[in-house]
Amino acid sequence: MPVTSSARLTLARIRIGEVGIGVRIEAVLQALPLPETFSRLPLRTHALLGMVEHDGMAVPVVDLARWLDVGTAPAGAVPQLLLLRDGDRTVGLRVDALEELVEVEAAALQRLHHGDDPDDVFHSAAPSGNGVLLSLLEATRLADLAQCWSTAPTAATADAPAESAAPPMADTLQRTCYALLDTGHGLIGVPPASLAEVLSLPPLTHIGSSAWCRWHDSQLALIASTALFQAPGVDTRVAAAPLLAVLQQADLALGVPVQAVLRLEEFGPGVPSTDGVGENVIDASGATVLLVDVTRLLARHPEAALARGDSVTSIASTSVGAGTINAEAYVVFDAAGLQAMPLAAIEQIVPLDVPLGATMAWHGAAIPLIDLRGEAPGADGADGTVLVAQGAHGLAGHIVRRVHSLIPAGAGRMFNMGANGTEFITTDDGGQEATYRIATLSALQATN
């Protein structure tokens, strides 16, 4: 069937050495970090780099630099492993960069090499814009030339034919509807069923690079939209935005600050992101969109359990060595020393921006203001943070020197030490193990 001028192909643009290469998106199974070591399959002369295990299956990995003169990779290149599929065959390809997705007119593909050498890898090229040409790599040809591939056990045959079925064309692939959101750093797509709410960004509480806010009757942890794209050197602290998108499945939820909600759009399969959090596709306007796998995203962030609200305290603790996993989140703060207390006990954390006095205004009423900083504060007394929470005398503002960190549920271990059963939590703090005493505001008031 002849290709019409309106047909378009989506290519994953990759780089091997100095060579720009295009691979049809239908042939891309997954992009992974390149392993430091490979299992060896000794061959006399071959471009086989080795083998890796993927989903319980051994997959051969080809390095084209062993076959062809591809030049030197750009400085700072981070090699990756691209898994390609050809029908029921899977083969790995070492690449120096997975750059982006590009759309090209199918009619623009040109066969440039017309020789009949069966060992040549490339024969066609495609323009990708700005005068850049991509050599077209067909997964079928790569597997045939390498004579190495793997098949799923249920699909394996004694002698798989070299001319296995070509991958389906893009317009026959299953398409799924996504809600498109503009994060200000890139476009993301979220399944509508996982987009619980989009609301104006509420007041945030920041601890280091982390942030959270009140959401209905629970706390909601936020992640920076920049963290979704995993770009090197990008600031992953949560920044202000007009809107907050709440991604939720069951009782887990995370908030992502966004600039705008754009539209609903359907997409077919894309190129898997290197960190496995989703797939990259191209929308109707030609922009790249990250389709977020919400299940994987929530699983990566233990703080998503903050959305469980009060029910988080009922999670069964799991034994770990001499302690138990913390079933709820804890805030670490400095009040004459570093202490920790459950996040659920704190209504809000605000900066100390009022003159030191006996009370502070809170939602139209005056509540007691209690200084827990121990030794005398500075000359103006204004260097501190206020934890608004229930204490010995009801709701009050408790002044601490600073809030140090947030320990998400499941990220620490609980211990009872000493004759009086004093409770502690131990966690990793910047690569070093740190232990904090669990405090109550009532007990801290009694010692000040």
Q: What is the mean pLDDT of each run of 10 residues along the chain (448 residues)?
A: 57 86 84 78 69 82 84 80 86 84 80 71 79 84 81 54 42 71 90 85 78 84 82 66 90 90 80 77 79 90 76 36 75 84 86 79 87 64 80 83 84 67 71 75 71
- Domain 8-169 in CATH 2.40.50.180? The answer is yes
User: Do 148 and 142 form a contact (C-beta atoms < 8 A)?
Assistant: no
Contact 303, 210 (CB under 8 A): yes
State the pLDDT at residue 230: 63
Both structure tokens of 419: 């004759």
pLDDT of residue 102: 78
Instruction: Tell me how many degrees the CA angle 142-144-149 measures, rounded to the nearest 5.
Output: 80
CA 296 – CA 76 distance, rounded (Å): 28
How is the chain split into domains, by residue range?
8-169, 176-306, 319-446
What's the confidence (pLDDT) of residue 253? 92
Buried b (16+ CB within 10 A) or exposed e, 342-377: bbbebeebbebeeeeeeebebeeeebbbbbbbeeeb
Degrees, nearest 5: CA angle 402-227-278: 145
- SS3 category, 391: strand
Q: Give the integer Cα–Cα distance in Å for 258 and 236.
A: 14
375 DSSP 8-state letter: S
Q: Has this prediction a pTM greater than 0.85?
A: no
Q: Which class for 211: exposed (0-12), middle (13-18), buried (19 or more C-beta within 10 A)?
A: buried
Sequence-separated (6 or more) residues with CB below 8 Å from residue 217: 309, 310
